[in-house]
A and B are shown apart, each in its own frame.
Chain A
């Protein structure tokens, strides 16, 4: 098992290096195929490891492989080691599986982009970092993987680096991620202080003893870890980077900002569950923030018109569910939703990429309509993804979201408030998802759709930036001239079909009363959990019916507002104008952060440069020192004036001084 475990990490790294160094000699789409093959091989290695793990006995399912003792000194044990247990293999399988499909999609989608090889090098690097993160066996490697993933996200968001909107978005994402990194490191320190080991298994085993009298330190450390999780998973208030991250190419949005990177926070909380269970305060913080995020994101998604941004806010909302779930103790449910969400969200992004290609790069839903007949395959993909996202039975999303909400309900007491919030979020999800689908595919076909029905793909006269309309060109640093739609590309169709099938049948793993495959699989990891959330049968049935009912209701509401009575949405907008303004301006979080954080820092920077640097450093320190030296040398220079008598006078003065010294000494 050790070989296959390390191969999971080595294949993506090899893919990166080959693409990065050999791109000049690799012809055509070879870079893309090498990237895809690398991740495919990693997936096979993950499957092999999974099989090998299942062969082991129940209590031996958490294995650590050490590659190198990096720093083992003065109480710090830093090793390069990976942990193979059900949770990490589950994450590795999801990451590598979905990544392979997205790489396949990107082979076709980014064809003719001048940065083709660079894209696949970055994408492989990202997968390598994400795998490092989930396979890490100690805090050190976790932090390293965390930071690498942030860097990969920056590189990929600013992939079209000549677009100022893209680079600004990349910087914004990176800065907020770094805030999270700082939280992660400080949290690690708080925990390490009392556990005295960086190893996960070591920390968890002795957690209850180590933190017995240090509840405050534990809670503080966990809240710092949560800051890291929120920054990476785009929860309120560190979420403002995710919508802007849609500046990256669609495969990037699909991979990083839907299926994998943003789920790192969920993985973190699930991994640290023994610590979280010792600190109810931290659990509450996580769950409440998750609930707040899912509601806020849901409302914003109702109002925005950029296609990719609707899906981005939907991601934020669904991750809110996952965070809420794992914080409350519903680990299996939360991770199940992580998996199903990866399937249908990646599918939705891929389909959205196809639609945007058909529009020639335009992303605003205001200009889209009636693509039903023009793009049948994409239409079906959207329908499947939309049904799964809206949690309609028997699609996968239904079972996963449902399980989270019933498990939280099983905790009773004040947790019911979160459950109610979750159900409100469910109906919002259904509404905004189908708003998106109805607006794009129903109604009269827009000019681009008409062109496509006649068989030719629309191309704008000049390539432009969809966010601000600036004219661009097709050279390196901007998108390439080709726009690939799914109907014309075999690779894209294969990838989307596999994801669609998975979105449909994924729920089979955890049908209540029938199967508990995922629960059994993940049991060894969560066996040490004190919370045994088993909702009563009645609660489960009520949850199933309520969930199904709310999603169908939401779809029906969307149908009425946007298809049957077309003027309704405008009328509602007029009636509830302040509310609409709040939603469309994203609850003014950007302005708030600008005022509280960005402006003071900018002021401090300006102050430092103009005043402090000029007056204190240049004036006092540098100028003062040179002034003193100048004055000293001027004084010394004055002594050498060339007058013989002055020199002689100094000589006599010196003689007088020496004589005085001897006089005083002898007296």
Chain B
């Protein structure tokens, strides 16, 4: 029974993957990836990783893919014209060759390995293996630091995404021509001359002391 389920899930995963790569429209590619993720969730369940499977569906297929859909909708699904890319010659053939070589090597590694454990289904494990309780316990005891760091990483990513994609100057101004000269300091600023008190391009404002004339 588990073999049948495995083959269905496995073939689904592979089909989804092939679909992501081959489909022209990015929106359909996203959908193919969602299908792939759901197949993976099935595979995880077969491997007694219930929590991970659930996380996969909810977080990955649910949140991350939705984000993808948003961006694809915003950017537009127009495929750029199929002009001969400057580096296209032989790129496809080379890419397929490399990927094929990679797969062959990994397959040889896996199948040719003399690791006995690979041939078996693994030791019998109890029901709490892969359960949320066990995962939770591990996350909060042994892997507390990675857990915290991961949340930190999420925070940085969120801030980074906002910074990258923000508008400058309010709504209505789409184009931001960025001139390098904008970032150059005026001449004489930040130089050694300025530091030692020599003449610079920037005149310091005369200090306005309260109290008017009359010195001290």
A interface vs B, CB < 8 Å? 641, 643, 645-646, 649, 652-653, 655-656, 659-660, 662-663, 667
A-B pairs with lowest CB-CB distance, top 8: A659-B105, A652-B98, A643-B87, A656-B101, A656-B102, A646-B87, A653-B98, A663-B105
* Contact flags B87-113 to A (C-beta < 8 A → 1, else 0): 100010011001101100110110010
Q: Which of B86, B87, B105, B112 contacts A656 (CB 8 A)?
A: B105
Contacts of A663 in B (CB 8 A): 105, 108-109
Q: A643-B86, A660-B105 are in contact. List 17 more A-B contacts (CB 8 A).
A: A643-B87, A646-B87, A649-B94, A649-B98, A652-B95, A652-B102, A653-B98, A655-B102, A656-B98, A656-B102, A656-B105, A659-B102, A659-B106, A659-B109, A663-B105, A663-B108, A663-B109
Q: Which of A643, A652, A667 contacts B99 (CB 8 A)?
A: A652
Are B87 and A645 in contact, CB atoms less than 8 angstroms apart? yes
State the Cβ distance, B124 to closest chain A Cβ, in Å: 30
Chain A: CB-nearest residue to B88: A645
Contacts of B94 in A (CB 8 A): 649
Contacts of A662 in B (CB 8 A): 109
Q: How far is the CA of A655 from the CA of B99 in the complex (A)?
A: 10
Q: How far is the CA of A662 from the CA of B102 in the complex (A)?
A: 13
State the Cβ distance, A659 to closest chain B Cβ, in Å: 4
Contacts of B101 in A (CB 8 A): 656
Contacts of B112 in A (CB 8 A): 667
What are 24 A-B contacts defined by CB distance under 8 Å? Answer: A643-B86, A643-B87, A645-B87, A645-B95, A646-B87, A646-B91, A649-B91, A649-B95, A649-B98, A652-B95, A652-B98, A652-B102, A653-B98, A655-B102, A656-B101, A656-B105, A659-B105, A659-B109, A660-B105, A662-B109, A663-B105, A663-B108, A663-B109, A667-B112
Q: How far is the CA of A649 from the CA of B91 in the complex (A)?
A: 9
B interface vs A, CB < 8 Å? 86-87, 91, 94-95, 98-99, 101-102, 105-106, 108-109, 112
Q: How far is the CA of A659 from the CA of B87 in the complex (A)?
A: 26
Are A645 and B98 in contact, CB atoms less than 8 angstroms apart? no
State the Cβ distance, B108 to closest chain A Cβ, in Å: 6
Q: How far is the CA of A446 from the CA of B86 in the complex (A)?
A: 98
Most buried by B among A643, A646, A656, A660: A656
Q: How far is the CA of A86 from the CA of B130 in the complex (A)?
A: 116
Contacts of A659 in B (CB 8 A): 102, 105-106, 109
Contacts of B99 in A (CB 8 A): 652
Q: How far is the CA of A641 from the CA of B98 in the complex (A)?
A: 20
Q: How far is the CA of A660 from the CA of B106 in the complex (A)?
A: 9
Chain A: CB-nearest residue to B109: A663
Q: How far is the CA of A655 from the CA of B91 in the complex (A)?
A: 17
Contacts of A667 in B (CB 8 A): 112
Chain B: CB-nearest residue to A643: B87
Q: How far is the CA of A655 from the CA of B86 in the complex (A)?
A: 25
State the Cβ distance, A645 to closest chain B Cβ, in Å: 6
Q: How far is the CA of A656 from the CA of B107 in the complex (A)?
A: 12
Contacts of A656 in B (CB 8 A): 98, 101-102, 105
State the Cβ distance, B116 to closest chain A Cβ, in Å: 15
Are A645 and B91 in contact, CB atoms less than 8 angstroms apart? yes
Q: How far is the CA of A646 from the CA of B105 in the complex (A)?
A: 22
Contacts of A641 in B (CB 8 A): 87
Contacts of A660 in B (CB 8 A): 105
Chain A: CB-nearest residue to B86: A643
Q: How far is the CA of A643 from the CA of B95 in the complex (A)?
A: 14
State the Cβ distance, B94 to closest chain A Cβ, in Å: 6
Q: How far is the CA of A649 from the CA of B87 in the complex (A)?
A: 11
Q: How far is the CA of A220 from the CA of B5 in the complex (A)?
A: 104
Contacts of A655 in B (CB 8 A): 102
Contacts of A652 in B (CB 8 A): 95, 98-99, 102
Q: How far is the CA of A653 from the CA of B102 in the complex (A)?
A: 9
Q: How far is the CA of A602 from the CA of B99 in the complex (A)?
A: 68
Contacts of A645 in B (CB 8 A): 87, 91, 95
Chain B: CB-nearest residue to A644: B87
Q: How far is the CA of A409 from the CA of B99 in the complex (A)?
A: 106
Q: How far is the CA of A655 from the CA of B101 in the complex (A)?
A: 10
Contacts of B95 in A (CB 8 A): 645, 649, 652
Q: How far is the CA of A660 from the CA of B108 in the complex (A)?
A: 10
Chain B: CB-nearest residue to A648: B95
State the Cβ distance, A403 to closest chain B Cβ, in Å: 88
Q: How far is the CA of A645 from the CA of B112 in the complex (A)?
A: 32
Q: How far is the CA of A459 from the CA of B101 in the complex (A)?
A: 103
Q: How far is the CA of A16 from the CA of B95 in the complex (A)?
A: 86
State the Cβ distance, A660 to closest chain B Cβ, in Å: 6
Chain B: CB-nearest residue to A651: B98
Contacts of B109 in A (CB 8 A): 659, 662-663
Chain A: CB-nearest residue to B94: A649
State the Cβ distance, B80 to closest chain A Cβ, in Å: 14
Q: How far is the CA of A272 from the CA of B101 in the complex (A)?
A: 87
Contacts of B91 in A (CB 8 A): 645-646, 649
Contacts of A649 in B (CB 8 A): 91, 94-95, 98
Contacts of B87 in A (CB 8 A): 641, 643, 645-646
Contacts of B108 in A (CB 8 A): 663
State the Cβ distance, B202 to closest chain A Cβ, in Å: 38
Q: How far is the CA of A646 from the CA of B106 in the complex (A)?
A: 22
Chain A: CB-nearest residue to B106: A659
Most buried by B among A645, A646, A655, A667: A645
State the Cβ distance, A650 to closest chain B Cβ, in Å: 10
State the Cβ distance, A457 to closest chain B Cβ, in Å: 72
Q: How far is the CA of A662 from the CA of B86 in the complex (A)?
A: 35
Q: How far is the CA of A653 from the CA of B105 in the complex (A)?
A: 12
Q: How far is the CA of A663 from the CA of B102 in the complex (A)?
A: 12
State the Cβ distance, A421 to closest chain B Cβ, in Å: 87
State the Cβ distance, A608 to closest chain B Cβ, in Å: 50
Q: How far is the CA of A662 from the CA of B91 in the complex (A)?
A: 27
Q: How far is the CA of A18 from the CA of B98 in the complex (A)?
A: 86
Contacts of A646 in B (CB 8 A): 87, 91
